[in-house]
Chains A and B, each alone.
Chain A
């Protein structure tokens, strides 16, 4: 058998060729077939994408779309409560965001702020279904496993750097948290197969473990183990299978996996190599460290990275009581890291070709569950008509009528606001609504993927945006 080269310097093209061979193999079994139809892919304005996921429902009026401020005053009617934070100025004259986001305010001149994102109500507001919808573009349940948008990028665009996994998911535990099965349902390559699924790094501070020998195994032993394996391969008595396609393809995958560990890119996973100043600038939270990790991974060639504040039912953005207090913490958790990430990418000349998106599954409101007129069950646990104690103070109901998405870099306009919501309740979108399909179409278009890109699964067409109908929001492109 031809010895497999372990040299990390092996030419990229060769590796890509091998990788595509594995992908072809995946096509063999039950896998989707690309459309015979020629789709003209748009010219990309971004090469990499970082999704900063505010899982749990980030309230727009408490973050990027401030409304009339209601301070905590005992006895004040809850119906008067639109925002619990005053608005502050940003680096753009006509853009105000909420107090607590002062650092992000300074970089809003690099941002496109969509204030008119809308989601369907789905009859019942369930994070799992809305998150599935946001991440795949399809409302669950589906008859086939829908791929995550990161998997679409991995599938259509492939890795930017062949040693770096194309789709990396940071900060979300998939075991031991509530609704973990529901999270797993969309954190997947779906019908594209695991080749295009995420590399999961639930704890950014331990990310380097993913590219290190297993715990307790020193590098010397690890490479000896590998060398021993290679000798076993070289001396296999089954010489008739030396050129067998399945065997060769399995060995190639093992080789690719091994290569990442010895590649210089592996260092990008190790936050321990960062200076104290840098680590502190990103804050101690998993999200902050995740942002730093995302910066490094994109710098070293990752295609799509998601970093989340982590969705855990009733935690973080998912405030069903004491919302204001939790928001103060969430502001601290995201403000520094997001601002620093943007500035760092800019300094590294990466921001122009990296699309950074801050998004969430829906917004929140103090009074309305769903959209006006929705029959969804009211899920606030702090029910009161007037503010009596701090637990009543905050936006405790899921609102799908208008939420904010912030986008930086990647060909988006700078210091631009798209769409608006009403200033009086209901805080629904009053101008230029952007659906999930259209938002995805915008993201995909920026990445050079047509929203109509289609693969066949079980002989049926399956599109990058639902039924191929997503239309990119032209106005947000610079």
Chain B
């Protein structure tokens, strides 16, 4: 059987050669691909057409991608090789059309080599790749086999990571002590510092399961959990209580729905379905931001929908493909429009770089392998179909995207980095796939993912420390990465320690009126803005991790923080601590979740004096809040 097939294919290729021979009058010996052709392609084409680069939609990674052609169709003419687009662009005198666009281009000799190669059938060395094709993430879920647990380290995350570290001969990060764990897990799960009583009781508690009980307790604190994760989701769904577009009625909040969904711990698949196929109370996300007047075709509301759904739920960036076939990944203009057309109320005309193409988009979803959206159905039913496909049990990309985001939030860096580029290879495929399967098996309960991560020895390890800014290529896992307090966490911490949180919130949500405000529920102020709270005009899924000089200026002498500290110091003064030592100890425990060292206590007492004034307290507060130990979550 195999032999027969081989002989047929040999015949047909001989036949093709004969045809070529008939067409071309003087056929020189075809140039050698490896030694003559590939070096030219590498030198002149690779920069824009290999690896993840696909300028004009053309990739030359390997033979398949090369033959697939560009946005303008195949670059080899199927029957008349001399008419091939490839030959035209490398030999034209028109500077605007010539390839490569930079430099002098190919010299005559090189053009002739390529021409002869194309005329001879443009044969590639079988299996030869100019560059390894870009990583293509799998679509379907995959349940990896867990490596054997080492000792008592039975958490699946640790089984995978211990195996990874052993394989790479990397050291296991050192374990985290109680107070550091307490501080980190509090901030990560509820966005608040542990209060002084919690610090005391937790460090005194000798029971073996105290850490897992703490995780459970925090996850069960519905209000604190919701107040905290609201920030995460506001960023991902670009929801805010004020912002561009509001004056024009161009955007609609989903705050009430969102708050309740987080509070009820709505299963993530249901959460996604409701946002993809929304009702009046949560349509703000799908509707996007509508600006008055003419806007780019790449920003019409249906296209915003495609971009937002792609980015937030799938970690797919369709922004390139909204305008033209992507140069950097596999997505095509027609696919972005297909997704947009699902949402569009009327037939959607396709534009390429803001110029009409004369084509009308056909509603379709990105992974037809899992099923399709029936373009003939009315919009609400198309959206329901799309919602079902995005949360299809065989769609592994949705759970992978969200577990990666949660991992990044807790561990400081994604398994896939950056988190919105899910087309990139994860540093550990098993880890990502396991977390995704774990989520679906737990009925899309995000708290279960958080619980799993927080319970791992990996999470409960010291964070990586580096002397120079780390390079993200060739990343190896060496422990969690430290994070900076977010604008909201910083604001809450100041309010919490001083007991000065305001009572009234800005967010229109159903929340216990007796509870004090959290920063996530307030409109952004200039301090929060400088500390990295985004405008939420775009989806911003990662906050800046470094303190810029202008932010530092706001912390150093800015009026907003200063007023908070004035107010905070007054409140603390009024609490009548019995002694400056007691006050100092309180502040260290409340701010840093530990006692002051004798040296620190001495400094603090000198600063406060025997009868601390509000001013002295205020300056002590500032000193504590500026400490990297306060602002960086380790």
Contact = CB atoms under 8 A, between A and B. Distances in A.
B243 interface: yes
B548 A253 contact: yes
Contact of A246 (B245, B307, B632): B632
B634 to A, nearest CB: 8
B295 A246 contact: no
A145 B291 contact: no
Given A143-B307, A243-B467, A254-B626, A30 B322 contact: no
Contacts of A121: 293-294
A303 B92 CA distance: 44
B597 A141 contact: no
A125 B291 CA distance: 11
A165 interface: yes
A184 B535 contact: yes
A197 interface: yes
A233 B628 CA distance: 9
B207 interface: no
Nearest to A195: B548
B518 interface: no
Contact of B299 (A143, A200, A257): A143
Contacts of A261: 556-557
B129 interface: no
Nearest to A185: B244
A126 interface: yes
A215 B559 contact: yes
Interface in B227-255: 242-248
B328 interface: yes
A273 interface: no
A194 B535 CA distance: 12
A235 B550 contact: no
B600 A247 contact: no
Contacts of B547: 249-250, 253-254
A232 to B, nearest CB: 5
A240 B465 contact: yes
Contacts of A145: 534-535, 537-538, 540
B507 to A, nearest CB: 16
Interface in A195-212: 195, 197, 199-200, 209-212
Interface residues of B, number: 86
Interface string A214-232: 1111000110110011011
Contacts of A241: 465, 628, 634
B548 A193 contact: yes
A2 interface: no
A238 B562 CA distance: 27
Given A194-B530, A232-B600, A122 B542 contact: no
A28 B603 contact: no
Contacts of A178: 247
Given A141-B537, A245-B468, A22 B600 contact: no
B301 to A, nearest CB: 10
A175 interface: yes
Given A185-B535, A215-B559, A245-B465, 16 more contacts: A24-B469, A28-B546, A29-B545, A121-B293, A124-B293, A126-B293, A140-B295, A141-B296, A145-B538, A188-B535, A193-B548, A217-B562, A241-B628, A253-B552, A458-B317, A458-B421
24 contacts: A28-B545, A29-B544, A29-B546, A126-B291, A139-B295, A139-B296, A141-B299, A145-B535, A181-B243, A194-B544, A194-B548, A210-B557, A214-B562, A228-B607, A238-B629, A241-B465, A245-B465, A250-B484, A250-B546, A250-B628, A253-B548, A261-B557, A459-B52, A459-B317
Interface of A: 19, 21-22, 24-30, 36-37, 121-126, 128-129, 139-145, 165, 174-175, 178-179, 181-182, 184-185, 188, 193-195, 197, 199-200, 209-217, 221-222, 224-225, 228-229, 231-233, 235-238, 240-241, 243-247, 249-251, 253-254, 256-258, 260-261, 376, 458-460
Interface of B: 47, 52, 102, 242-248, 289, 291-296, 298-299, 304, 307, 317, 319-320, 322, 328-329, 418, 420-421, 465-470, 472, 482, 484, 525-526, 529-530, 532, 534-535, 537-538, 540, 542-553, 555-559, 562, 566, 597, 599-600, 603, 607, 615, 619-620, 622-624, 626-629, 631-632, 634
